[in-house]
């Protein structure tokens, strides 16, 4: 596995986010604005592909993890990890506010699905892709990793971290201890 640091020029923001990067500590703090989201058609009919994400190209196997914190205050405020193949095919894993904090994932293949479980926050998320199978694990702050979901999403994509605030005024998000490795 080859680890890539936060200063690697391959990392790109999909939307201006006013980041503060501390490569030595492996932390990034950024802002997201109202009306930002990744969602496609299901339930509400909304189509949105304008969240704040910092991603890096991936082709094969990879591992991505980090510990997230944010002031999630309004319904559907969310922060986590994302793998994007296209505006109609992607997977996001996040901590999200919907009356309480949940951890979950949305796998979009033309339309979005949504799976979730009650969680404590702040906490960690990890995505590992092996042979086109993506596995999502999560942990409460200082806790043990627990597997939450598995899905297929292979081929060239971009992977990284993201936040979104579909209904609220936006918020500051942070990821610490970010670790990203590509299979060589």
* pLDDT tens digits, 61-119: 999 999 999 999 999 999 999 999 999 999 999 999 999 999 999 999 999 999 999 99
Q: How many CB atoms lie within 10 A of CB 118?
A: 9
- pTM of the predicted model as reported, rounded to 2 decimal places: 0.95
Q: How many CB atoms lie within 10 A of CB 40?
A: 21
Q: Which residues of 49-60 are buried (b: 16+ CB within 10 A; e: fewer)?
A: bbbbbbbbebee
DSSP codes joined into one string, 64-125: EEEEEEE---STT-EEEEEEEEETTEEEEEEEEESSSEEEEEEEEESEE--EEEE--SSEEE
The alpha carbon of 56 is separated from its chain's Cα centroid by a whole number of angstroms, namely 12
- Residue 4 above 90 pLDDT? no
Q: How many CB atoms lie within 10 A of CB 2?
A: 9
User: pLDDT tens across 135-177, in order?
Assistant: 999 999 999 999 999 999 999 999 999 999 999 999 999 999 9
Q: Is the peptide bond before 122 cis (omega within 30 degrees of 0)?
A: yes
pLDDT of res. 74 = 97
Check residue 165 and report its DSSP letter. B
pLDDT of res. 1 = 67
């Amino acid at each position: 596995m080859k680890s890539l640091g936060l200063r690697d020029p391959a990392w790109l923001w999909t939307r201006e986010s006013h980041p503060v990067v501390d490569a030595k500590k492996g932390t990034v703090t950024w802002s997201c604005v109202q009306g930002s989201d990744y969602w496609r058609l299901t339930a509400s009919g909304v189509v949105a592909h304008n969240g704040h994400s910092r991603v890096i190209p991936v082709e094969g196997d990879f591992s991505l993890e980090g510990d997230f914190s944010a002031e999630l205050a309004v319904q559907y405020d969310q922060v986590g990890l994302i793998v994007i193949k296209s505006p109609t095919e992607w997977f996001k894993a996040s901590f999200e506010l919907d009356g309480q904090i949940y951890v979950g994932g949305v796998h979009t293949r033309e339309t979005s699905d949504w799976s979730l479980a009650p969680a404590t926050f702040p906490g960690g998320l990890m995505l590992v892709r092996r042979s086109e199978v993506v596995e999502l694990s999560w942990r409460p702050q200082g806790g043990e990793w627990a597997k939450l979901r598995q899905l297929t999403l292979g081929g060239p994509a971009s992977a990284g971290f993201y936040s979104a605030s579909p209904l609220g005024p936006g918020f500051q998000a942070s990821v610490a201890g970010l670790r990203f490795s590509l299979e060589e």
